[in-house]
Amino acid sequence: MSNQRQASSASQVPHLSPAELSYLYTSLSLPKNPIRPDGRSPTQFRPLSAETTILPGTNGSARIGFADGTQAIVGVKAEVEKTVLAADTLDSRSLAQHGDALNREGEEGSAAVSGQGEWVQMSIEIPGYRDDDALPIFLGEMMRESLVGSVENKEEMAGGLKARLVINKRWHWRLYIDVLLLSQPLSYPLPLLSLTTHLALLSTKLPKLKSTGEEDPFFDDDWAAAEYLYPRSKPSSGPFHPVRPPVTILVVSVGENIIFDPNREEISVADAVLAISITRSHDSDALKLLSIRSIDPPSRLTQSGIPNSENVNMIGSTPAENPSQEEVSGVWRPRRGGVKRSVVARMIKTVLGKGGVGEEVLEGLEGVEVH
Amino acid sequence: MADRRRINGPPGGTRPPVYASLQESTTGAAQRAQRQRQPAELRKIFLQTGMIPTASGSSYLEFEPSASLAAARANPKSLIPPSSALKVACTVHGPKPLPRSAAFSPNLVLTTHVKYAPFAARKRRGHIRDASERDLGVHLETALRGAIIAERWPKSGLEITLTIIEAEDDRWWGDAPDSHDASWGLMNVLAGCITAASAAIADAHIDCLDLVSGGVAALVSDESNSASSIPRLMLDVDPAEHRSILSACVVAYMPARDEITEIWLKGDSSRAALEKGDDRSSHEALIDGAVDAARGANTVLSEAVRESITRSIAQA
């Protein structure tokens, strides 16, 4: 039943005593240099091992394992599907066939050109959770919205992933992204799943199209000729800004400090938790923000400690303090309320800034060999 | 996950016919709704508490219909309404003891349940909650959990149920989805849900740090050629009134503490143009705009809660 209560919320209940939580909070909120349980610096990520194209039956796949033993596999499959415009769309194309001098607002059949977000489907499986529990659905929507929300203006990827899935006006690709967490969710699984999805999409190939224009699609059956979903042709001139799938980074604030990639213990004392999705901008070195979502900090589910002054067993042994005192040092009390706007701005800036964490993560992912 | 226990209507929905001649005519049946408000002007909100006597707390929230919708209702020219306005009913049950089988909880266990009525949107919704409704529930839970003082009710549960009676559109009904298309209507729905739930919680006399209210700000572009136009920041947007929304942000905000309990921002905000001398980045401007909208909603919320308190004192 405790499992079921966990599942009703998108965050996991921490299994630490108030004393442990207080110790963790104090060491993580030390001004300027927090001490993390595993000795990392605030912006350092956990070491991981990654490989791509591990599943021969998929269009693209990847596996990432963290050093703590959590592992995830992502498989991407693509299907050709007929494009159907929504029934309630005022389709200006069919109206125009009547020879009426309609002003064709927008481009002709813009739905067929720009693609639809529904063509990307994502399913997440986490052991111990049902597929309609809050956590998998929340994570899935979070990763999907940044995937389909990234709109590039570059020639080979104009319109972003959605437009890349368009074959012609009548046909499109449908992309199924299946995320499988192989281990128990020891920490909040978002960074692991997002990085694995990134690599799987990078390695995704679609068969080369042989038909042209509005013909029914017909593909080259040589898999070696297949093209990458995210193209990687280098331009002959100018700086190279590859189009890349977005990455979602988990950021927590503890006291004055901002800490990246928290493990399970660290996230359980966080004051605020944000998931920030970024990608490379198409025309400069800068990073682009795609989405921010706040995540319910698990500290709100914890039990607060009882100071000696209020403890019945300790009456007489401690000097009576003012009972209305809110904060007693060394006694765990989960933070109430929300987060200040300045803290949110600082968290975003640390991710997006020049030489910030976002660049570091994307550079690290570039280092993974994609076949 | 199809609903097999009931006989359901067609999943795709139906629509009245639109004739090509109607498009051309100047009657305006197929004309896009236009925003009549200033960029920083909010829609009026109707909010009343205590509408559902069997619940320990309840509220009903309604947004003012847009000018074109009001005109279409007064003088109908087409069977298709030009836009829609949000209507939400919220009930709060509890705090009540957790079931015997539940594990011990030192805090109030909050359960949020957001459901669209089958007729709420232009496309029919099923009876089983889909992914977007569950997602809204999680967002709402995050927003409220930050405001409720949960340790005052150990071993208790609080159930918050929201029924969306009429939802906002994601875009103008006649538009085919363009490259910036996303479920923008969800963000308005979430903001309304936060405000309504906050009123219902206050009506149920649950201790909170402050009244938390929701607000939306968005970067919109109204030119037909979205590549050249410069998106502008607007508060409380109705997606049906704009050609494309590039980026939007919802916050749940507590004015007395100046704190945000929930933030949801999505879309590409990199091309926005702010006023001269404004050196904020566009996402900061979006968050600030959403906070301003939430402050506006809070004035209505506190008035509704005052009415609720007056009524309960009069009854006592």
Name the residue among B141, B173, B262 with its Cβ closest to that of A9. Answer: B141
Considering only CB atoms, A5 lies closest to which of B103, B249, B259, namely B103
* Domain interval for residue B290: 39-315
Looking at residue A309, what is its pLDDT? 77
| Facing A281 at nearest CB: one of B177, B252, B270 | B270
Q: What CATH number does the domain containing B212 carry?
A: 3.30.230.70
pTM: 0.89
Q: Which of A144-153, A187-196, B289-298 has the lowest mean pLDDT?
A: A144-153
Average pLDDT over residues B297-304: 95
For A48-85+114-233, the fitting CATH number among 3.30.230.70, 3.10.20.30, 2.60.120.10, 3.30.1360.80 is 3.30.230.70
Strands B156-166 and B109-116: parallel
A178-211 tens-digit pLDDT: 999 998 877 888 999 999 999 999 999 999 988 8
pLDDT at B284 over 70: yes
Number of domains within chain B = 1
In chain A, which ranges are continuous DSSP H helix? 2-8, 18-28, 92-96, 110-114, 134-149, 160-164, 190-202, 264-267, 341-352, 357-366
ipTM of the complex: 0.86
Contacts of A336 in chain B (CB under 8 A): 146, 149, 209
Q: Look at residue B282 and give its three-state secondary structure.
A: helix
Q: What is the mean pLDDT of residues B255-281?
A: 80
What does the pLDDT read at residue A325?
Answer: 54
b/e code B73-95 from CB counts within 10 Å (16+ = b): eeeeeeebbbbbbbbbbbbbbbb
What pLDDT is recorded for position A243?
78
Q: Tell me whether residue B7 is in a domain.
A: no
Identity of the residue numbered A339: V
Residue B236 lies in a domain: yes
Looking at residues A328-345, what average pLDDT do you find? 87
Mutation to test the A interface, candidates B98, B142, B151, B169, most A Cβ within 10 Å: B142
Using pLDDT thresholds of 50, 70 and 90, give the confidence band for residue A355: confident
* Backbone dihedral angles phi then psi of residue B157, each to the nearest 5 degrees: -125, 150
- Angle, CA A204 vertex, CA A223 and CA A200 arms, to 5°: 140
Q: Is the pLDDT of residue A152 over 60?
A: yes
Q: Is A318 on the interface with B (CB under 8 A)?
A: no
Domain locations in chain A as residue ranges: 16-45+246-319+326-371, 48-85+114-233
B251 falls within a domain: yes
Chain B stretch 48-77, residues whose beta carbon is closer than 8 A to a beta carbon of chain A: none
Q: Would an 8 Å CB–CB cutoff place B2 in contact with chain A?
A: no
Contact A189, A126 (CB under 8 A): yes
Q: Which residues contact B151 (CB under 8 A, 6 or more apart)?
A: A303, A304, B106, B107, B108
B10 lies in a domain? no
SS3 of residue A339 by DSSP: strand
Are B268 and A151 within 8 A, CB to CB? yes
Q: How confident is the model at residue B16 (pLDDT cuts 50, 70, 90)?
A: low
